[in-house]
Chain A
């Protein structure tokens, strides 16, 4: 394939993939929602879960985005240094978003700041947003596509604690968000927590944590334990679907961490709503692709 043919192929694939992610939830989210539905007993909670399931089925049937707020597109990239289109990737993803905006269709969600106008294309300064990890000696490219609406973006919060606050302070910080903004962010939520040095390192990790599958655990034993403690703790609050009360609150808690400065603990929270529209796709050097998040789908 010529370089241009490769670019066209990848743009086609990513445009269709963005539309898919806006319409169908990933398998782990679908399974978790079904599990939580089965565990609820109140008519209020089960009615809401059944309504969600009905909506997802209709979105597929009518080929429409499942939620009207299709977010600002984010791409989390792990790109091999030998991947042939590394230099063209930003343009490819921008073109893919533009095309999906018309075809899916996606809501116009890119407002230029200060000039304060909606570009009407989902493309603006810094949007769609690309986050890069470079992988040496690899010729493939992994992309997590993510669209979060305004509702579940709003609770995002980061701060730097003094070490004296400890992991007890991290706990307080996370749970306070749950009963304030988390309530209106369309539970059951997927909660991402970043623990690092400063606001920007913690914030980045907290969003990256939302790319991890539900039910996966941090490789550090204590961090994994804290994931479970937070999940059980937040569930015990009983926010229920839509924050209207129920037996559970969250789909899971994922923590990502780095080392920290001895004098600080940076902590951040990001949440994904129940309509957690995340997709993972891997391209090889010939632009053949594998989708890991959505089994049995055709683009």
Chain B
């Protein structure tokens, strides 16, 4: 197996140029948990985010965090949540923040494709159900912003080391792995149905 491909924040557009859908990367530096309400506050509420996301990464995730007191926190468990919920806001979100890597689960749609192409950003999947592993890749939670949103929705500013594997699902050319796969999956599905139906005529 080839060496780990590691990106370090701050990330520039040219760092992402040669990365394509299906590639596996890892992240050093900063990733901030950012999901439904944070997107809504910025795009619909026009409230400035309390964290500068320019050149760094966001994580569609709602973690379990232990409060150690004195503004110190420990990441216990953090897994990706369904990215599609943020699709409605993501194009403007990327344009306004300059975020470079969006990490989540499952595919996203045409808005995010356009943002990734236009702003030179990527969407990646962190394997879901691997929340303990992800938590151990967080070196430190440096800040916690918008805590009024509660534990799942707080913006947890995480310093991470070799955070991944991150599987690229939308690249800077706007290619979308999930959408491409869907076409193939549906073709295969039709063939599978036809094959099975030849053998299940139990009602005669």
Interface residues of A (CB under 8 A from B): 43-44, 47-48, 51-52, 54-55, 58-59, 62, 64-69, 105, 107, 151, 163, 166-168, 170-172, 175-176, 178-179, 183-184, 186, 222, 225-226, 229-230, 233-234, 236-239, 241-245, 273-275
Contact = CB atoms under 8 A, between A and B. Distances in A.
Interface of B: 1, 22, 24, 62-64, 76-79, 82, 84, 105-107, 125, 127-133, 135-136, 165, 167, 169, 177-178, 181-182, 184-186, 188-189, 191-193, 195-197, 199-203
A229 B136 CA distance: 41
Nearest 3 interchain pairs by C-beta? A233-B192, A55-B130, A167-B200
Contacts of A168: 196-197, 200-201
A242 B128 contact: yes
Given A67-B79, A184-B106, A233 B129 contact: no
B197 A179 contact: no
B106 A243 contact: yes
B182 A179 contact: yes
Nearest to A172: B193
A189 B107 CA distance: 18
Contacts of B199: 225, 229
A94 B3 CA distance: 49
B167 A230 contact: no
Contact of A179 (B79, B165, B186): B186
Contact of A237 (B22, B169, B189): B189
Given A179-B186, A237-B185, A67 B200 contact: no
Given A43-B1, A55-B130, A166-B203, A107 B64 contact: yes
A274 B129 contact: yes
A190 to B, nearest CB: 13
A175 B79 CA distance: 28
B169 to A, nearest CB: 8
A47 B23 CA distance: 11
A238 B188 contact: yes
Given A44-B167, A244-B125, A55 B192 contact: no
A198 to B, nearest CB: 18
Given A65-B77, A68-B63, A55 B128 contact: no
